[in-house]
Structure 1
Amino acid sequence: MRPAKRIGKLTTARVTAVTNDQGTNAKIVAAGTVPWRIKSGQLQVLLIHRPQYDDWSWPKGRLDPHETLPETAWRETKEEVGLRLTLGIPLGVIRYKTSNGNNRKEVWYWAARVIDQRPKPDANEVDETRWASVEEAKKLLTKKLDKKPLKVLAEAYEAHHLATIPFIVLRQAKAIPAESWTKDEVDRPLADSGYTQAKAVAKLLRGWAPTRIVTSKYTRSLETIAPFVKKYGGAVRNKKWVNLRTVKAHPNFMAKRLRTEFKRHEPTLVCAQPSVTKRILKEIKSWVREDRHAVVNPKHVYTEKKSNLSPGSILVVHRATHLSGKIVSVERYEPYVN
């Protein structure tokens, strides 16, 4: 358990059409997923049975030291049911008091699609898993509160918001000060704290597993994504439109290329310098504003108060695959750094 003040920094914002999660001050915080699939044209969800409690629930668990909420949800799903899943849209937060009534607990949930994987219970905490329809799951779930994320998931499915592709904007980690660097600006590397941030953000990014990674040619941007690429893979592409000089000289070109990347049908990460990520956020905000039927507010992407990401932080935008890439979820996270 960690102090509430530190936990509150773990999630800055997490918004969908029906949820709006703005951090937490609970003493006990956990995270998990509702795994789902489409079988014979029907939506199914994966429940787990825990022999210790003799209940049917979802894969979940408390935060480990040095973890963020998305990392916990990803890890617990892998440990309890043996599934390496990517996180989809947020499904809200369950809040309740512990059995002794002294502490408030929160469980943060994400949807997680299962394709061509079979669950393997860990045998310690989980002795059985079961695929069920939404109606069957309502009857199986032991706790009434566990029906809340199921309801959000079912509504998202009906609205075609459930099947999504993540698009991630990453602000490069902290670089050494420009005034202390005498060589070519392109070669200015990360500071020691920046390397620490880069390692932490690699753990955070595995929750969405981007396979296409777009970055500038600057050393500090390449060093920011290096730990993730080394451990988890991904195709890295250096693009001129991400370079600050190109963005300043040809802002319309940057906007056009960003839109092209945004429309791709694969999880994509764009890593750039602070001023470039700020422009990217403003551009994405304009797309939301232009959407007459937008389900998220433009201010969830960019406001004057939160005009940019902090070093090593990410913005995750989920695009609905069945609604021509409509933005249905926006999330902001900082990597956990000691």
Structure 2
Amino acid sequence: MPTTIPAAGTIPWRVAGATLEVALVHRPRYDDWSWPKGKLDPGEDWAAAATRETHEETGLTVRLGLPLPEARYTLLDRDGTPSDKVVRYWAARVTGGSGRLVNEIDDVAWLSHREAHDRLDYARDRDQLLALVRHHQAGTLDTWPLVVVRHAQAVPRSAWDGHDDTRRPLTRAGRERAGALVPVLAAYAPERVVSSPSVRCLETVAPFAGVAGMRVRERESLAEEGFADDPSRAPARLQRMLERARPAVLCTHGPVLPALLDVLRPLLEDAGAPERERFERSAATKLVKGEALVCHVAGAGPTARVVAVERHLP
């Protein structure tokens, strides 16, 4: 039976004047033009692999945007054994990097989408390009990520001998999940981290904030206790984040999440059925503990709409 080779990549894009441009890479080993991509490391998340491989091949640091159609094709090993390769792709905006070529790439070319269509060597790579162009034409390509996180597994209340429930920490498994979230959150390059001040929430996002050099902004409105005192404050906090339209992470608790998801649900009216279904599956469980729900938002304030949804589960 064929083995499966998981890989991930990006389609870096920019708008020059009125022209949509994308970045292709040239691999001298195969003498082909394609998208930056590569295999997942053992245990690596797809999104984290996409940004890592893009940086390793192009020297560019990117922020993941909309997920794009994946590619599936069969490869033959040297002995003729078939393997199924699955490549997941994201649209991506360049946020930094030297652009120095590394890792088997000898050229990176920024081309108009029409030029790129002609230069790509594989028909399967045009599926991602077509989706990217359609989003650009619809005004939904330029998005910013709002990542909603439910805190990771914490010491159960029944086993906590402290008097203050807000001090209840993560378990070992919870701390491991917090560490695993670091490269996942980094792939979306958030600029703000907002959290309930409860220890179990702070410990979930603090590892990422530390690596990213950010401070965690504590908001009592996102705590269970603050929400119980005034349920209107947490949705109001989320509305302000939608108005600011800055890439952000928000970490909170299960009891608070339905009120926040009620704010986001109407923004999915124009999204496709798969996106709405994915959102509702996440909402049905108030997110799994340690889950990161990535909402790709186009626009701000009253014009904000959620174009795509991703779930990153423990």
Same fold (TM over 0.5): yes
Secondary structure of 1:89's counterpart equals strand
Structure 2 partner of 1:134: 113
Q: Deviations over 1:302-335 (max 9, x none)?
A: 2488432222110000111389322111110125
The yes-or-no answer on 1:119 pairing with 2:99 is yes
Secondary structure of 2:152's counterpart equals coil
Structure 2 partner of 1:163: 142
Selected match of 2:285 from 304, 307, 314: 307
Change (3 A) 1:136 1:331: same
Counterpart Cα distance in 1 of 2:98 and 2:212 = 21
Structure 1 partner of 2:26: 49
User: TM-score if structure 2 supplies the norm length?
Assistant: 0.91
Change (3 A) 1:47 1:280: same
Question: What is the CA distance between 1:84 and its match in structure 2?
Answer: 1.0
Q: Is the 8 A contact 2:261 2:283 kept in 1?
A: no
Which one-letter code corresponds to 2:70 in the other structure? Answer: V
Structure 2 partner of 1:217: 197
Counterpart Cα distance in 1 of 2:271 and 2:144 = 17
Secondary structure of 1:121's counterpart equals coil
Selected match of 1:84 from 42, 54, 61: 61
Once structures 1 and 2 are overlaid, which stretch shifts more, 110-119 or 125-134?
110-119
Structure 2 partner of 1:172: 151
Structure 2 partner of 1:238: 218
Change (3 A) 1:224 1:87: same
Selected match of 1:199 from 179, 189, 195: 179
Q: Deviations over 1:38-86 (max 9, x none)?
A: 1122110000000111100010001101201001101000100011111
Structure with a larger share of its residues in strand = 2
Change (3 A) 1:223 1:305: closer
Secondary structure of 2:62's counterpart equals coil
Query: 5+ residue gaps in structure 2?
Result: none
Question: What is the CA distance between 1:249 and its match in structure 2?
Answer: 3.6
| % identical equivalent positions | 37
Counterpart Cα distance in 1 of 2:106 and 2:75 = 24
Change (3 A) 1:305 1:213: closer
Counterpart Cα distance in 2 of 1:280 and 1:298 = 15
Q: Is the 8 A contact 1:302 1:308 kept in 2?
A: no
Counterpart Cα distance in 1 of 2:298 and 2:263 = 19
Structure 2 partner of 1:276: 256
Change (3 A) 1:306 1:106: farther
Change (3 A) 1:34 1:178: same
Secondary structure of 1:302's counterpart equals helix
Change (3 A) 1:37 1:59: same
Change (3 A) 1:187 1:169: same
Secondary structure of 1:257's counterpart equals helix
Which one-letter code corresponds to 1:326 in the other structure? Answer: R
Question: What is the CA distance between 1:117 and its match in structure 2?
Answer: 5.5
Counterpart Cα distance in 1 of 2:271 and 2:198 = 35
Structure 1 partner of 2:17: 40
Which one-letter code corresponds to 1:87 in the other structure? Answer: L
Structure 2 partner of 1:181: 160
Counterpart Cα distance in 1 of 2:168 and 2:126 = 51
Counterpart Cα distance in 2 of 1:276 and 1:27 = 39
Question: What is the CA distance between 1:280 and its match in structure 2?
Answer: 2.3
Which one-letter code corresponds to 1:320 in the other structure? Answer: A
The yes-or-no answer on 1:67 pairing with 2:44 is yes
Q: Is the 8 A contact 1:285 1:299 kept in 2?
A: no
Structure 1 partner of 2:73: 96
Q: Deviations over 1:71-125 (max 9, x none)?
A: 1101000100011111000111111111347222211000001256653210x41
Counterpart Cα distance in 1 of 2:154 and 2:96 = 41
Secondary structure of 2:161's counterpart equals coil
Change (3 A) 1:29 1:119: same
Counterpart Cα distance in 2 of 1:302 and 1:214 = 23
Counterpart Cα distance in 1 of 2:283 and 2:212 = 34
